[in-house]
Structure 1
Amino acid sequence: MNSTVTAKDLVGELAGCVPQGQVLSDTDSVRKYSHDDAEWAPFTTPLAVVLAQTTAEVAAVVSYASSHGLRVVPRGAGTGLSGGANSVTNCIVVSLELMTRILEINTDESLAVAEAGVINDDLREAVAAKGLWYPPDPASYKISTLGGNAATNAGGICCVKYGVTGDYVLGLTVVLPDGEIVHLGRRTAKGVTGYDLTSLLVGSEGTLGIITEVTVKLLPMSGREDRAVIGFFPSLQSAGQAVATVAASGIVPAALELIDSMCLRAVDEWLGLELPQDVHALLLAKVDEPGTTGAELANRVATIFSDSGGTNIEQATDPKEIDRLFLARRMAYPALERLGPVLTEDVCVPRSAVPEMLSRIQSSAAKNQVVIANIAHAGDGNLHPLIIAPVGDVAAVARAKTAFDEIVDACRELGGTVTGEHGVGLLKLPGAAAELEQGVINLHRSIKKALDPRGTLNPGKAFPHQP
């Protein structure tokens, strides 16, 4: 902390920036807000936590921090898996979880404006009541916030066809590192005035500005007819081959998800879904074209599954049955968390490389004697190996970290990227350094220096900061 500001002064002066009761400094609170859900990512204890309720309050806190040489770490629901919301030395954590107003749903222009703390699923339900659809659906959609989704450019199950968060963000209200409030983007269907600063802020992980409001485009709810296809496979490689074949066929599914046997057992033991026990992988596909076109596509996917070694292949059109089939995928991560700490990978490879990447993950698990479960947005090559190490087993943790690094290296060797949707945060800094050209890293540093010369916002995250 700046030597001119004592801890008592800090809390008192922050109380002047926001209404009473919105500054937390007790031990339990600062511990709770000191990190996100990433296992083994470093963090420190924040000096204080501010529960902001308005953009003006965020701006006041950031302005105060900047002028006193303090750091600010923005936070949504804390569901991140890369350490992007972890507190750093001499920092104030600014939580936007109380900024939960949906400010506008415009049916004429098919857009919505919402504060950063709005839960993804709350917006989806609100616009659905108006006959509209907000497609981005990260696995944490019931608990993650729109601001956090935008800050990490979150993906989700349906992004293989409909794209990620950034494909739907039209505009942002942002608090800059000096406390200035700016409005980026547009509300029109087209617009190219100036640099695309909206896209620059989306995925910047709170290092360039704090997103406080998001304007998103919406799609019509009508015109889609969901059909699900599931199949069980005798190996991860055969499931991976089915994924590659679907991609090569030209079919663009609305979802294509993979779950391995360990995840299936964990979900089944928790929820009692009576899933088959003698299989190594489950693929869940969804197509949403209407009428006979959708039926024909579903049949083609089912045939590909069968030709790739899939068994117990089922199709479903009833929405409740589809939700039941996809429940195992959405609950796989929390089911595994019940078994112990989970270090979550987030690599993305070309779809044709999915079988080889799955094979390398298995090889790394065997070589390092660690348990690795697999879930994946397989349709776009985004794999989530889940590395489990027993609590307190130092040697197992070390082996898990070795496996983590090997998987990152393997993904790059196969032409992939070290993070598909979770963000670099802290966990993926070495991988980002290896993936990005030095000139590209220099561009990142130049942009950060230009917008945040004092290093106020979320320092040390998102890209390699040190030469």
Structure 2
Amino acid sequence: MNNIKTMLDELKLIVGAERVFSYNEQKNEGQSRNPIAIIFPGTTTEISYIMKFCYSNNLKVTVKGGGSSVNGGVLSCGSDIVLSLERLNNIIEVNKFERIVTTEAGVVTENLKNEVEKHGLSFPQNISSAGMSFIGGNIAIRSGSPKSFKYGTMANYILNLEVVLPDGQIIWTGKNVKKDSAGYNLTQLFTGSEGTLGIITKAVIKLTPLKKEWLFFIPFNSVTHMYDFINEVLVIGLNPSSIEFLDTKGFELVSNYLKDGRISINKSFCIWMEFETDFWQTDLPELEIMNRLIAKYSNNNALFAESSREKEDLWKYRNKIGEACLDYAEFVDYDFSIPFLASQHIYERIIKILDEHHFEGIIVGHIGDGNFHINVFRDKNLTQDQWKSKIERCFMIITSLIIDFGGSVPGEHGVGYLNKKYFNLSVGEKQKQLMKEIKKILDPKSILNFDKIF
């Protein structure tokens, strides 16, 4: 205990005593998941000093962004300090000519998005947790979003990163240029590394011109009709920015949560299909094509939104599904990605597997890029341990199915602490060995985000 107090005193000298909050309950040391302390640095230099101290003293560090993680990536290992990035919250520069923004890692993602839009530019991701997640955390887990169908994940838009390494050294991973073939791509190495290789403190992010958007909400009577519709939309060359999916149970759940019965569907599967445009006049033929295809595949009334208010009213049924699930019951979120052409078959197989296990749940997701989320609700007839054990058996069966069809588990939430068992099945032994060797080179003492991923 005296040794811990001494270390905390040293850390207080770096950031100030008011920026270090210690946990006094260390009675069950080794069993408790509480950290030794939470520390709130305000600069990259302070983080560098902290990491040099922790490296020298073999003190483990868990990095915390906005805390929206569902993979347990911000959980303390019980013998660490938690390093919060919330004070690194400055947007440093928006460069309109280069179409890039330089930002600190602790900026709330929605604030970044709103700021660049003032300059006529767009951060091309509409991440669901944007209101609370930090941009550094989104980079660290290589976040996806509904717009990943058109723009890919965060990885496609990260130009350069400032990173503090486990031993306290500060590096930039690249240059702020569009073309750079000088050696290995370290920027992409740290993007998606979940804080296990280094602490992202600043990022240079590529932006796109701000677009107008229009949105269709389309219910279908069958999964087959829905997939046939999406197939034809893509085959004839239309270019949606988002294709989102929600099953019947999910739509019923979110409608009840919102207490909004303006949209009534009956045993239908719903998609939101969004398009981007520069000039309305040039896109009128696309609207006509869409209306023709909707009439061909759906007997239900589709809705169209053009104004910001109309789009917000339609999107809320998709965007609020997480809150609706939390309000309904305790649940576990399992996410995976599968090649689109296999996704209908996988979807139908998963429904059967869930039925065989007598689970109540919903399936929601980014159907355009094959990334789905299964939310399974707590079975109150089982104890917590029985329920979790039953879920794990079910998800292991689904994981094997996903892998057989060339998919990935997890899809977009990262591995963190909770998804390691699925990651171990999803990734080959040689790939894992290489990843572990990279971790060993950059963090030989394994002090950073200990017990995450591996």
Q: Which range, TM-score by smaller chain?
A: over 0.9
The residue aligned with 1:33 is none
Deviations 1:102-129 (A, max 9, x none): 1111112111111111011101111111
> Which moved further from structure 2: 398-407 or 190-199?
398-407
| Alignment counterpart, residue 73 of structure 1, candidates 62, 69, 91 | 62
The whole-number CA distance in structure 2 between the counterparts of 1:27 and 1:378 is 47
| Alignment counterpart, residue 426 of structure 1, candidates 417, 420, 423 | 417
The residue aligned with 2:28 is none
| Alignment counterpart, residue 234 of structure 1, candidates 211, 221, 234 | 221
| Alignment counterpart, residue 84 of structure 1, candidates 64, 69, 73 | 73
Aligned CA distance change for structure 1 residues 177 and 234 (closer, same or farther; 3 Å): same
Shift of 1:172: 0.7
The whole-number CA distance in structure 2 between the counterparts of 1:322 and 1:354 is 27
Aligned CA distance change for structure 1 residues 231 and 294 (closer, same or farther; 3 Å): same
Runs of 4 or more consecutive aligned structure 1 residues displaced over 4 Å after TM superposition: 390-393
SS at match of 1:441: helix
The whole-number CA distance in structure 2 between the counterparts of 1:261 and 1:43 is 41
Aligned CA distance change for structure 1 residues 146 and 450 (closer, same or farther; 3 Å): same
Shift of 1:313: 1.2
Aligned CA distance change for structure 1 residues 146 and 383 (closer, same or farther; 3 Å): same
Unaligned runs of 5+ in 2: 26-30
SS at match of 1:63: helix
Shift of 1:314: 2.0
The whole-number CA distance in structure 2 between the counterparts of 1:383 and 1:148 is 21
TM-score (norm 1): 0.90
CA contact (8 A) 2:222 2:269 kept: yes
CA contact (8 A) 2:399 2:422 kept: yes
> Which moved further from structure 2: 408-417 or 101-110?
408-417
| Alignment counterpart, residue 268 of structure 1, candidates 231, 251, 255 | 255
The residue aligned with 2:200 is 211
Amino acid at match of 1:11: L
User: 1:280 aligned to 2:277?
Assistant: no
> Which moved further from structure 2: 11-20 or 209-218?
11-20
Aligned CA distance change for structure 1 residues 81 and 301 (closer, same or farther; 3 Å): farther
> How well do the aligned residues superpose, as a CA RMSD in angstroms?
2.1
- Aligned pairs for 1:431-442 (under 5 A) are 431-442=422-433
The whole-number CA distance in structure 2 between the counterparts of 1:198 and 1:305 is 42
The whole-number CA distance in structure 1 between the counterparts of 2:126 and 2:58 is 38
| Alignment counterpart, residue 16 of structure 1, candidates 13, 16, 24 | 13
Shift of 1:43: 8.4
- Aligned pairs for 1:31-70 (under 5 A) are 44-70=33-59
The residue aligned with 2:284 is 295
User: 1:179 aligned to 2:176?
Assistant: no
Shift of 1:154: 0.4
The whole-number CA distance in structure 2 between the counterparts of 1:70 and 1:246 is 54
Amino acid at match of 1:212: T
Unaligned runs of 5+ in 1: 29-41
The whole-number CA distance in structure 2 between the counterparts of 1:271 and 1:43 is 38
The residue aligned with 2:445 is 454
- Aligned pairs for 1:2-401 (under 5 A) are 6-26=3-23, 44-221=33-210, 224-274=211-261, 275-289=263-277, 290-309=279-298, 311-390=300-379, 392-401=383-392
CA contact (8 A) 1:368 1:402 kept: no
The whole-number CA distance in structure 2 between the counterparts of 1:288 and 1:107 is 20
CA contact (8 A) 1:237 1:356 kept: no
SS at match of 2:409: coil
